């Protein structure tokens, strides 16, 4: 074999990069194998470019509201092609930056697709499924190959886009059908609408954003509809015909929708099919790699972090799992990731964010008589002069006897920033009385959390 490393990481996404750099900082000899650009889903085709599009999509509403604050535009142009080009340029910059950081950390980068020869040896191929160009060996292997969007098995599915495709387009059509009920579907519905696109969102079930507080989701849904996004529940596509730019989407209710494009945001699955896991004997259940609390698989030399394990598919979770793995194996601490209290946000309009138990989860755990709900609904000062746009909704779920805060939920401007700070308090076991005795910072949106009665 050509090389012997302490650790070989398969995948240079958020979890893989975090593990590789942390392990190298402890003196481990580390290699990382990546067939795509360095940065993974989050940096290349996920969180980062999406959030940049979110910012871009907000400007139409801001310019429309500007006159309320005495700012008069004689003429405003929105160049979506320029926005998309600038986003791609920033992604390219970050790709180079991450390569530089790997080099600085002393991690050797192999450009190619990795797969298993056996539990300690990795094939590297330039193209997926092609002849092996190199074999490297390592004492331990960390699988961090992430996930990939899935397409429905319907006629004409190849005519639709997945989320990866959206960042590579030069422009958006006048009308887009978004299929899905999760983070990506809701975010792109709002992004596209903000950029002047007519949006129809098809939701297979009876509600969006499973796992979020139902009242919070209803608040978001009402705001999206008020802005002009058409949300159709209990419906999904059965077939697509035509060509991109002029499509006909046939649906379960025996109707059809004419549109210029269709986005499938119908879920993601672990990207493991080309890893040749059978060569290493790694256990797979329901399409995911099975790991214990230490990210270990059934094979002593092989570990996995991030979306391939299909636990909580969020970037910060993958990063923490990668660092905890490196701390435990190569450092001096036996650290285990706590998956119980994970804050989450959806960057739609209005932005929503949550941490802790939903109202329904709290009732199921403690009983309806043993919880108390505090709520506040208002128009933020930023909309006071405009008198339109998304409002704010804040909600605390508490345990009645102790006053302990079980969940904190918010819709509105800066929701993710506010919930990030609230999650620290909840993680420390804060009570409603602790919030009550905290002096409010006025006038702010966040002060509502410490003034609720």
- DSSP character string of 140-200: EEEE---EEE---SSTTGGGSEEHHHHTT-S---SEEEEE-SSHHHHHHHHHHHHTT-EEE
Question: Is 43 inside any structural domain?
Answer: yes
Domain boundary among 214, 233, 266: 266
Looking at the structure, tell me whether residues 282 and 319 fall in a common domain. yes
Looking at the structure, tell me whether residues 59 and 118 fall in a common domain. yes
pTM greater than the 0.85 cutoff? yes
Average pLDDT, integer, range 193-211: 97
Looking at the structure, tell me whether residues 178 and 137 fall in a common domain. no
- DSSP character string of 34-93: ESS-TTHHHHHHSHHHHHHHHHHHHHHHHHHHGGGGT---S-----HHHHHHHHHHHHHH
CB contact at 8 A, 259 and 232 = no
Q: Does residue 131 carry a pLDDT above 70?
A: no
Q: Does residue 437 carry a pLDDT above 70?
A: yes
Task: Give me the helix-helix angle, 47-65 and 183-194, nearest 10°.
Answer: 40
Question: Is 299 inside any structural domain?
Answer: yes
pLDDT confidence of residue 388: 86
Question: Is 67 inside any structural domain?
Answer: yes
Q: What are the residues whose beta carbons fall under 8 Å from the beta carbon of 145, sequence distance 6 or more?
A: 10, 11, 13, 16, 270, 271, 272, 275, 308
Question: Is 198 inside any structural domain?
Answer: yes
Looking at the structure, tell me whether residues 363 and 318 fall in a common domain. no
Q: Does residue 296 carry a pLDDT above 90?
A: yes
Domain boundary among 266, 292, 309: 266
pLDDT digits (tens, 9 = 90+) for 360-384: 999 999 999 999 999 999 999 999 9
Beta bridge partners of residue 397, listed in sequence order: 373, 407
352-356 and 371-378 beta bridge pairing: unpaired
Check which CATH number belongs to the domain holding 380 and give it.
3.30.390.30
Question: Is 420 inside any structural domain?
Answer: yes
**Which structure tokens are listed for 151?**
């397409």
SS3 221: helix
Question: Is 435 inside any structural domain?
Answer: yes
pLDDT confidence of residue 133: 77
- Within 13 A of 254's CA, how many CA atoms are on the CB side? 0
- Within 13 A of 247's CA, how many CA atoms are on the CB side? 26
Cis-peptide into 413, omega within 30 deg: no
Q: Does residue 239 carry a pLDDT above 80?
A: yes
SS3 149: strand
Looking at the structure, tell me whether residues 25 and 141 fall in a common domain. yes
Check which CATH number belongs to the domain holding 262 and give it.
3.50.50.60
Query: 442 catalytic, yes or no?
Result: yes
pLDDT confidence of residue 176: 98
* Size of the chain in residues: 453
Question: Is 345 inside any structural domain?
Answer: no
What is the rounded distance in angstroms from the CA atom of residue 306 to the CA atom of residue 9? 12
Beta bridge partners of residue 111, listed in sequence order: 34
Looking at the structure, tell me whether residues 184 and 288 fall in a common domain. no
CB contact at 8 A, 409 and 216 = yes
Average pLDDT, integer, range 287-306: 98
Residue 130: band (very low, low, confident or very high) from pLDDT cuts 50, 70, 90 = low
Average pLDDT, integer, range 435-440: 97
SS3 352: strand
Question: Is 194 inside any structural domain?
Answer: yes
Number of separate domains in the chain: 3
Domain membership of residue 29 as a residue range:
4-149+269-330
Looking at the structure, tell me whether residues 142 and 163 fall in a common domain. no
The sign of the torsion formed by the CA atoms of 11, 13, 16, 17 equals: positive
Looking at the structure, tell me whether residues 297 and 370 fall in a common domain. no
Phi-psi region of 414 (alpha: psi -120 to 50; beta: other; left: phi over 0): left
pLDDT digits (tens, 9 = 90+) for 65-117: 999 999 999 889 999 999 999 999 999 999 999 999 999 999 999 999 999 99
Looking at the structure, tell me whether residues 139 and 281 fall in a common domain. yes
Average pLDDT, integer, range 321-334: 95
How high is the mean pLDDT of the chain? 96
Looking at the structure, tell me whether residues 289 and 426 fall in a common domain. no
Looking at the structure, tell me whether residues 60 and 180 fall in a common domain. no
Domain boundary among 330, 361, 378: 330
- Phi, psi (5° rounding) for residue 193? -60, -45
Average pLDDT, integer, range 324-342: 94
pLDDT digits (tens, 9 = 90+) for 29-46: 999 999 999 999 999 999
CB contact at 8 A, 309 and 288 = yes
Q: Does residue 1 carry a pLDDT above 60?
A: no
Average pLDDT, integer, range 441-450: 96
**Which structure tokens are listed for 19?**
């593990």
Looking at the structure, tell me whether residues 141 and 161 fall in a common domain. no
* Residue 219 DSSP class: H
């Amino acid at each position: 074999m050509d090389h012997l490393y302490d650790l070989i990481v398969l995948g240079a996404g958020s979890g893989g990069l975090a593990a590789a750099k942390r392990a190298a900082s402890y003196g481990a000899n580390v290699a990382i194998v990546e067939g795509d650009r360095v940065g993974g889903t989050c940096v290349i085709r996920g969180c980062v470019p999406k959030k940049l599009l979110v910012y871009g999509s907000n400007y139409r509403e801001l310019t429309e509201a500007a006159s309320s604050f005495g700012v008069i535009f004689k003429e405003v142009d929105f160049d979506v092609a320029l926005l998309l080009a600038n986003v791609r340029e920033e992604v390219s910059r970050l790709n180079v930056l991450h390569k530089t950081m790997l080099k600085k950390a002393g991690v050797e980068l192999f450009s190619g697709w990795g797969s298993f020869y056996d539990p300690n040896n990795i094939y590297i191929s330039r193209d997926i499924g092609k002849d092996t160009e190199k074999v490297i060996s390592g004492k331990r292997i960390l699988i961090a190959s992430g996930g990939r969007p899935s397409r429905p098995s319907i006629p004409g599915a190849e005519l639709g886009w997945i989320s990866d495709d959206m960042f590579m387009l030069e422009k958006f059509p006048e009308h887009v059908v978004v299929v899905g009920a999760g983070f990506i579907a809701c975010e792109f519905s709002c992004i596209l609408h903000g950029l002047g696109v007519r949006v129809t969102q098809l939701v297979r079930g009876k509600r969006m954003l499973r796992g979020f507080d139902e009242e919070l989701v209803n608040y978001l849904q009402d705001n999206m509809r008020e802005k002009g996004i058409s949300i159709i529940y209990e419906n999904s596509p059965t077939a697509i015909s035509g060509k991109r730019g002029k499509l006909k989407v046939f649906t379960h209710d025996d109707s059809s929708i004419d549109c210029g494009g269709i986005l499938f945001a119908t879920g993601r699955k672990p990207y493991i099919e080309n890893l040749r896991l059978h060569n290493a004997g790694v256990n797979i259940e329901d399409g995911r790699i099975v790991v214990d609390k230490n990210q270990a698989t059934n094979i002593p030399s092989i570990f996995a972090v991030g979306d391939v394990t299909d636990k909580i598919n969020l970037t910060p979770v993958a990063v923490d799992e990668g660092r905890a793995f490196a701390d435990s194996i190569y450092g001096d601490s036996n650290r285990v990731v706590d998956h119980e209290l994970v804050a989450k946000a959806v960057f739609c309009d209005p932005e929503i964010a949550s941490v802790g138990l939903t109202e329904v989860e709290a009732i199921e755990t403690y009983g309806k008589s043993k919880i108390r709900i505090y709520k506040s609904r208002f128009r933020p000062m930023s909309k006071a002069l405009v008198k339109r746009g998304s409002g704010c909704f804040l909600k605390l779920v508490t345990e009645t006897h102790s006053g302990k805060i079980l969940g904190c939920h918010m819709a509105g401007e800066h929701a993710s920033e506010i919930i990030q700070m609230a999650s620290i308090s909840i993680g420390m076991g804060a009570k409603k009385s602790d919030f009550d005795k905290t002096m409010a910072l006025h006038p702010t949106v966040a002060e509502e959390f410490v003034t609720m009665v």
